[in-house]
Structure 1
Amino acid sequence: MITALLFDMDGLIFDTETVYKKSWQYAATQMGYELTDDYYQGFIGVQDPDCERMLCEHFGEGFDLATYKVIRDQHFHEAREQGIEYKLGFHQLFKTAKELNLITALVTSSHLPEVKHNFQNSDYLEQFDTIITAEDVQNGKPRPDCYIMACQRLNLIPSECLVLEDSNNGMRAGKDAGCQAAMIPDITPPQKDIAEIADYLFESLEQVTDLIRSQTSS
């Protein structure tokens, strides 16, 4: 039985991953570097400081991270001000989860100000039973700390919780925490090891709604 849904945010609730990718690649290009699609895949679901460390190692000595971050952040914030769309099926899934009295948590690698900005025109944040952001954990995804913390805060056995993720790194974190995990890919398909350990592989959040409804009728 699933008693709780643990939601990732970027690429799962909001269509932000494409915007992030464009901003990271734009800044690299402006500085004379190339951030390829393949290398960027390793950033998805990972906290920014870890991604920035990887970037410095990738581009090597002489890479000006401070300047890069200014260009990247300006590009991202300008793009975000045009509006970030919710992913297909989120509204109905959240509504159904509440109707079925499922516990809900938001577990994201993003920082709290980014979370508040994305949800600013809704009351969703008030309805999550707990919220865990980058500020709350020392080790981000793919380490399981954030999902372990969510289960502890909710006083739930991990196996009762269904992690909802769009990234391979997020799936690793959820499974290593002992949770059930469903991947709804955004811009990255499941890697072979993830496809083997995933409890569910879905095309959209609409299928998650069907799943939780089915357990109440079985």
Structure 2
Amino acid sequence: MTLYPVTSSSHHRAVGNETTTLLFDHDGTLIDSETVHYDLWRDILHEYRVELSEDFYCEVMAGIPVKQNAVDLVEHFQLDVAPAVLADKKHKSISDYLDRQAFPLMPFAKETLSTCFKNGYTIGIVTGGSKKSVEKTLSQYELGSYVSCVVAVEDVANSKPAPDCYELAMAKLNKSPSECVAIEDTQTGMNAAVSAGLACVVVPTILSKHHDFTRATVQYTSLNEWVSREFGR
């Protein structure tokens, strides 16, 4: 998989002397879920005789919560179904998937959390996805001991790109924006973090490589590269 090239901004560090807390996005950042999401949406849309292209998924749907995905799909493909019905089908398909297994981890995700934890940082997960998905990741890969806080789509009225999820995580952890750094893979997630006043590291995937990351603090090609630069290992 060819990831997005690093910009020169990567020579700066996002984690400063004030930083105590690292808030990680889940889908696309810690877990390799977008391919699964794409496949599940394709299966659902086949019922409506719609062929979902990878390009449309990447440009319109990747990193966006299910509720908004459903609205966008009904509008774009002029489907004769309520967005809420489509969203319910997707939530059920994800739930069924998670009953069987967690999503696969992104490369170096476990080592990243371990390194951050060992360096004394408080770790939170802030996701536009479901709590069940995060809980499955933490249990299957034995990552629970590293994570102090989880904020999922069920916890806020407005999901990403609204800042609510990051604001709630900071409130739960009793942290200020200057103490926190977000790690994201999409423009939607980055906008949520920046709107909450956070510095933001972006690690784009092949699905988000065309996003506009000019508001990010730094950009890297992989978690491994970020950790190596940030913590010198």
Q: Which residue matches 2:27?
A: 10
**Distance across 2 between alignment mates of 1:210 and 1:96:** 10
Aligned residues between the structures? 213
SS of the equivalent of 1:120 reads helix
Equivalent residue number for residue 211 of structure 2: 191
Q: Does 1:179 align with 2:198?
A: yes
Distance 1:25 1:69, change over 3 A: farther
The equivalent residue for 1:116 is 135
User: Any conservation in 1 of the 2:73–2:79 contact (CA below 8 Å)?
Assistant: no
**Worse overlay, 68-77 or 183-192:** 68-77
**Higher helix residue share:** 1
1:103 matches 2:122? yes
* Aligned position for 2:182: 163
Q: Does 1:206 align with 2:224?
A: yes
Structure 2: give runs of 5+ residues left out of the alignment.
1-15
Q: CA deviation at 1:24?
A: 0.7
Q: Which is further off, 64-73 or 133-142?
A: 64-73
Q: 2:6 corresponds to which residue? A: none
Deviation at residue 184 of structure 1 after TM alignment: 0.9
Letter in 1 for 2:225: Q
Q: Which moved more, 1:45-54 or 1:179-188?
A: 45-54
Give, in whole Å, the separation in 1 of the partners of 2:121 and 2:188.
Answer: 25
| Superposition map of 1:68-107 within 5 A | 70=89, 73-74=92-93, 77=96, 81=100, 84-107=103-126
Question: Could you say what secondary structure the match of 2:139 adopts?
Answer: coil
Structure 1 residues 173, 17: closer, same or farther in 2, change over 3 A? same
Contact kept in structure 1, 2:201 and 2:219, CA below 8 Å:
yes
Please, which of 153, 178, 182 is the counterpart of residue 172 of structure 2? 153
Q: TM-score, normalising length from structure 2?
A: 0.80
Deviation at 1:127, TM superposition (A): 2.8
After TM superposition, give the deviation of residue 61 of structure 1 in Å.
Answer: 5.0
Residue 29 of structure 1 deviates from its aligned partner by: 2.7
**Does 2:158 align with 1:139?**
yes
Contact 1:168-1:190 at 8 Å conserved across structures: no
- 1:53 aligns to 2:76 (yes or no): no
Displacement after TM superposition at 1:64 (Å): 6.1
Q: Conserved in 1, the CA contact under 8 Å of 2:21 and 2:181?
A: yes
**Amino acid aligned to 1:141:** K
CA drift at 1:208 = 2.2
Shift of 1:49: 1.5
Between the aligned residues of both structures, percent identity stands at 25
* Cα distance between partner residues in 2 of 1:67 and 1:131: 26
Tell me how large the CA RMSD over aligned residues is.
Answer: 2.6
Answer whether contact 1:12 1:164 (CA < 8 A) is retained.
yes
Partners of 1:20 and 1:76 within 8 A in 2: no
- Once residues 87 and 164 of structure 2 are traced to their aligned partners in structure 1, the CA distance between those partners, rounded to angstroms, is 29
Q: 1:35 and 1:72 mapped to 2: Cα distance?
A: 18
Question: How much has 1:207 moved relative to structure 2?
Answer: 1.9
Q: 1:175, CA displacement in angstroms?
A: 0.9
- Residues 117-172 of structure 1, C-alpha deviations (whole Å, 9 max, x = no match): 23332332343111101111100011111111112222222133111111111011
- 3-state SS, counterpart of residue 6 of structure 1: strand
